[in-house]
Amino acid sequence: MHTGDKRLHARIYGRVQGVSFRYNTLQTANRLGVRGWVRNRPDGSVEVMAEGTQGVLEALVEFLNTGPIGAYVRQVDVEWSAAIDEFEYFQVR
């Protein structure tokens, strides 16, 4: 168990599919050392589930609020909870 880690569940709305949002989230998460996943949702949003320290997850949320070039982020809904140590690495689903 990674002591003190948090769990982040985020939904990102706007023009976030078809703009390499998942790939850029993967790259950002790997750079930060975050574990979890990112996936497209049928409603056009992107969903992220991630675990790590509060600081690195906040840095990930900063990225999610902007996204890559070509994205337009209208809204990010974030839920925080205690980590359950479910993930070994970050992946695109």
Joined together, the tokens standing for residue 2 give 């990674």
**Domain total in the chain:** 1
Residues 89 and 33: their CA atoms lie apart, in Å, by: 8
Q: Which domain holds residue 84?
A: 6-92
Residues with catalytic annotation? 22, 40
Q: Which residues is 12 bridged to in the sheet?
A: 46, 76
Distance CA 22, CA 10 (A): 13
0.85 cut: is pTM over it? yes
Model pLDDT for residues 30-67, shown as the tens digit of each residue: 999 999 999 999 999 999 999 999 999 999 999 999 99
| CATH number for the domain that contains residue 70 | 3.30.70.100
Q: With respect to residue 1, please indicate whether it lies within any of the assigned structural domains.
A: no
